[in-house]
Amino acid sequence: MPDHERHPFLHGLSKHRGAPPTVVVIFGASGDLTARKLIPAIYNLALDGLLPADFHLIGYGRKAIPDEEFQRDAAAAIREFSRRELKDEIWAGLAPRTLYVSGGYDELAAFERLAARIAGLEKRVGQELQTLFYVSTPPSVFAPIIRNLGASGLASRYVGQPHQSKVIIEKPFGKDLASARELNRVITSVFAESQVFRIDHYLGKETVQDLLVQRFANAIFEPLWNRNFVDHVQITVAEEVGVGTRAGYYEQSGALRDMIQNHTMQLLALTAMEPPVSLDAESIRDEKVKLLQAIQPLRLDGAASDVARAQYTAGLLGGKPVPGYMQEPDVAADSSTETFAALRLQINNWRWHGVPFYLRSGKRMARRVTEIAVRFKRAPGNLFADSDRFQLAANTLAFQIQPDEGMSMILNAKIPGLETRTQPVKMNFRYATTFGSNTPEAYERLVLDAMIGDGTLFIRGDETERSWQLVTPILEHWKQEKRAGLDAYSAGSWGPKSAADLLAAHGHVWREP
């Protein structure tokens, strides 16, 4: 009997998946994301034979670009950014199906031209095509694009059928609770929720998906996964990169909006949520929302504050000097944008009552690493009292999301020898060692899932609103405070003292992953 029949829970991960004949339309197709991620993702899907036979790609943007030029740019993007080399025979199949339509994002007539081009394709191939719109422009034009998809009738093609129109929306999804609600309002006035795919590319990462498998396909974890055994949880999303040339965007954003509200909260939700009743999208999203709802409002003021924020100052990374945030191009002279944020959260439910969850994310930190570390309580009693002979550590299970994807467990072991001495040891599992290192990129999985209509790895409207509801009071508080209370950390370090203080108040320290 196949595994998914014996364990219906695994069905969603093992079922054979295929997309209907599709045309993907990318808005903002002359942009950075399209070149670095979207075109390479589509190419890699083609290479793996995962695109439907009647697949077409239409780039859309304001500049007039002939089809041939877009095809040349796309091939160049694949050569530069794809995880696998451009193979002529694959590209020869894809290139003639790669087209461009130019027009404004608020120009209804241009959307009608786009609709006519899609209708022309359908006539040529002799069948109905699903349209998957990928909104990859700056957020200022998200709403006009959605409205024009509605007004031109493109949003309602084949509605109610499996090949109904679908739309992927890039981040940032709003800048606070009010703007996220307004964007949801615009989207749901045009599309049904089942047509909408709000992206968080962390959900497309292999190791993030594996978190569900580790938690719910292994019986050993669930009995321990609660306040009786877990002392606290640390989630770190650390980057080595600085703001680079992105200050125009980042000055309006900061670490809380850019990384915590979305990527880090998603990691938290998947780590702490209850087991879903099945692997279908709604069951998983329901559990994530319930978990986010159980997070208590944060204290923002005084010594007991649950939040810390900081900016990087000049420092050394990999032995090389790097400038501080205030010296980066296009950063305001009085900028109070945080490049690091940390939160201490309490989840008020039966499972997690009293267990602190610590979240941190920052740019220009010591090392690029994303990990979830579950620290268990110490063994009771004092059979092995801490002494020179008995070095003991609390058991820690760490999921390393990136790089060096894997899992590790810290245990205490006897040092071989004639007397009993102990030392903490690390049990390691590395994906690359077991499975090889050529895993699909997040965008490959996400584009394919949206084509299939599987929303499991996308954010539902209420999920994003709940997450904004948690962080908006912090944003408002920081806006009022300006630079007061903004801490500093040297580039190349693990973050500011104020973040260490969040843990110290409970007798904890951050791991150095």
Minimum gap (Å) between residue 258 Cβ and ligand BG6: 5
Residue 354 identity (one-letter amino acid): G
What is the distance between the alpha carbons of residues 23 and 60, in angstroms, rounded to a whole number?
12
Do 161 and 427 meet the contact criterion of CB atoms below 8 Å apart?
A: no
What is the distance between the alpha carbons of residues 246 and 234, in angstroms, rounded to a whole number?
28
Q: Which of 168, 57, 71, 203 is nearest to 121 (CA)?
A: 57
User: Would you give the end-to-end CA distance of the chain in angstroms?
Assistant: 41
263 included as an active-site residue? yes
Instruction: Report phi then psi at 144, rounded to 5.
Output: -55, -40
- From ligand NDP, ligand BG6, none, interface partner of 184 (C-beta below 5 to 8 A by class): none
Residue written as token pair 């998946």: 17
Q: Which of 411, 398, 396, 400 is nearest to 367 (CA)?
A: 400
Interface segment toward ligand NDP; rule CB under 6 A; list 47-55, 136-144, 395-403, 492-500: 136-144
Q: Is 32 in the site for ligand NDP (CB under 6 A)?
A: yes
> Which of residues 28 and 103 has its CB atom nearest to ligand BG6 in the complex?
28
- From ligand BG6, ligand NDP, none, interface partner of 325 (C-beta below 5 to 8 A by class): none
For residue 346, give the H/E element and its range. strand 340-346
Q: Is 239 in the site for ligand BG6 (CB under 6 A)?
A: yes
Question: What is the C-alpha R_g of the chain?
Answer: 24
Of residues 341-400, which lie at the interface with ligand BG6 (CB under 6 A)? none
Minimum gap (Å) between residue 105 Cβ and ligand BG6: 21
Q: Which residue is nearest to ligand BG6 (CB)?
A: 258
Helices (H) and strands (E) in the chain, counts: 18, 17
- From ligand NDP, ligand BG6, none, interface partner of 239 (C-beta below 5 to 8 A by class): ligand BG6
Minimum gap (Å) between residue 239 Cβ and ligand BG6: 6
- From ligand BG6, ligand NDP, none, interface partner of 314 (C-beta below 5 to 8 A by class): none
Applying CB under 6 A, which of residues 82, 130, 137, 264 lies at the interface with ligand NDP?
Answer: 137
Minimum gap (Å) between residue 334 Cβ and ligand NDP: 25
Parallel, antiparallel, or unpaired for β 356-362 and 369-376? unpaired
- From ligand BG6, ligand NDP, none, interface partner of 258 (C-beta below 5 to 8 A by class): ligand BG6
Q: Which of 7, 263, 353, 477 is catalytic?
A: 263
Of residues 87-126, which lie at the interface with ligand NDP (CB under 6 A)? 105
Minimum gap (Å) between residue 27 Cβ and ligand NDP: 7
DSSP string, 139-156: GGGHHHHHHHHHHTSGGG
- From ligand NDP, ligand BG6, none, interface partner of 137 (C-beta below 5 to 8 A by class): ligand NDP
- From ligand NDP, ligand BG6, none, interface partner of 140 (C-beta below 5 to 8 A by class): ligand NDP
> Which of residues 82 and 136 has its CB atom nearest to ligand NDP in the complex?
136
Q: Which of 313, 315, 332 is nearest to 324 (CA)?
A: 313
> Which of residues 113 and 290 has its CB atom nearest to ligand NDP in the complex?
113
- From ligand BG6, ligand NDP, none, interface partner of 141 (C-beta below 5 to 8 A by class): ligand NDP
> Which of residues 171 and 364 has its CB atom nearest to ligand BG6 in the complex?
171
What is the distance between the alpha carbons of residues 337 and 493, in angstroms, rounded to a whole number?
18
Q: Is 147 in the site for ligand NDP (CB under 6 A)?
A: no
> Which of residues 36 and 351 has its CB atom nearest to ligand NDP in the complex?
36
What is the distance between the alpha carbons of residues 449 and 397, in angstroms, rounded to a whole number?
30
If you ran DSSP here, which 8-state letter would residue 493 be given? B
Of residues 140-179, which lie at the interface with ligand BG6 (CB under 6 A)? 171
Applying CB under 6 A, which of residues 258, 287, 328, 441 lies at the interface with ligand BG6?
Answer: 258
What is the distance between the alpha carbons of residues 101 and 56, in angstroms, rounded to a whole number?
13
Q: Is 30 in the site for ligand NDP (CB under 6 A)?
A: yes
Q: Which of 157, 167, 4, 28 is nearest to 103 (CA)?
A: 28
Applying CB under 6 A, which of residues 73, 170, 200, 405 lies at the interface with ligand NDP?
Answer: 170
Q: Which of 158, 149, 156, 23 is nearest to 169 (CA)?
A: 149
CA distances in angstroms from 167 to 142, 232, 303, 375, listed in the order given? 11, 38, 45, 40
Residue 13 identity (one-letter amino acid): L
CA distances in angstroms from 451 to 29, 172, 197, 314, listed in the order given? 18, 21, 10, 45
Contact residues for ligand NDP, defined by CB under 6 A: 28, 30-34, 61-63, 105, 136-141, 170-172
Contact residues for ligand BG6, defined by CB under 6 A: 171, 239, 258
